[in-house]
Structure 1
Amino acid sequence: MRMLAIETSSLVASVAVVEDDLLLADFVLQHPMTHSQKLMPMLENALTYLGLTIPDFDAIAVTIGPGSFTGLRIGVSAAKGLAQPFGIGVVPVSSLRATAYNAYDSRRIVAVMMDARRNEYYAGAWKFEAEGLATVVEEAAWPVDDFAARLLEAALQAGTEVLLMGEGAAKAYERVHAILGDRVTLAPQEMRCQRAASVAMCARLEGIQAVDYDKVPMNYLRRPEAEVTREQRLKG
């Protein structure tokens, strides 16, 4: 199966192309340009280098959240727009869960954190087991101390350490370390950022089913901040 993967849940924009278990292209760009400026040029370059066109793909995997509301909408809209004319299925993937695959087969608990603002983090934790990726702490918008407490409980129970990943990991590390101490390690930046190659890996190894372009779900975990602000203004 030939798959195109798109990741736009954070500041990083990423595009990957895989064929079965072979990674053909992996573009990652961390730059303050908007995803609307970055994504399509990256995609066009990947296809040009490989001599491929969109009809050559069997599926398009895309992260559906949580993360930046604007970034997610750009990525999902791009996936839908590319898939619709050619009847290609879209594979919806959790941005947090996909990032855990950056540390594939790690013996540690892999915790992924993204800054959700309002003193919260979109976060979840997993552990690679023989039967696959097992959830240790469920995905949610967590206050950092609450998430760290759950990680400590899980680490003590499993008798292992925690690897902290995701674009919010560095910001949260001091508080997490205060609770877990030496049981937690901050992954190197190159390893902890979101990337499309891991989105494709998650989709393939977990056998996530593709859906029609108009049935792609979103996984925001909480309402967009703009909607909450608008509602508060209306209430006066």
Structure 2
Amino acid sequence: MKFSKNAGREPEVAEGWRMPDGRTLVGGPTTPLSTTLLHLHGILGPDGEPLTVQRVYYVLDASGALDRVYDTTTVSVEFELSATTYRVEGTTLYAYRSAVDSHVRESRHERRVEHAGLVPLPPHEVPSPELVGAALADLERREEGRAATDRGSHEALRASFVAALPDRPGREALDLELTLEGDRPVVRLDGRVLWRAPETEFPHRTLMFLLRSALSAAWRDRPADIVPSPDILAHPLWDPWN
């Protein structure tokens, strides 16, 4: 999964915790969190009220390298807009997620344990802002390399899908179906398997987005769409929060 680092924000670390696996969790500054982030409301806390502050958390390994950044993110897929933020409460790091479906105007709110068993560090053991800043810059360089690799795999997937499309689909509206053949996603047209996903595992929402963008580019103004089947919608890779 990709975490934003909010470029320009200084990682002014004030608190730290030892994680059960020996890594260190450090907390950056708190900043205001919009209570209308999802238009209808913000991210709701355990009391049902919108959370009003956010904080970035950094996970460092024993060498001081940054493993992961937990930052507030928003995601928009079709009619659904969702946002996730993170909070340490007691000895646990929680993820809070709220989602709004603008089509049916329904909301979902979830809290998930990311890491439990945190042990607070004394101030002199908390990594300095300079150390965290250097580790963050190194992580961003590594992620840029991974992003380039991802772009290549996305382009290869789109190209393989376009190559499987009929040359002249005609003017009638076509509905392709993204479904499963065993555990492998496939696209069917009139019940026939038109394309099989590669072995590389993509989240199914990401796969749907990539295929739709490829279909739009290949067939342009020809009426066609790809719809997810019930088994795709029920699969954990469609939405890991379900």
Bigger Rg over Cα: 2
Q: Higher strand proportion, which one? A: 2
Q: Higher helix proportion, which one? A: 1
Task: Decide: shared fold, TM above 0.5.
Answer: no
TM bucket normalised to smaller: under 0.3
TM-score by length of 1: 0.24
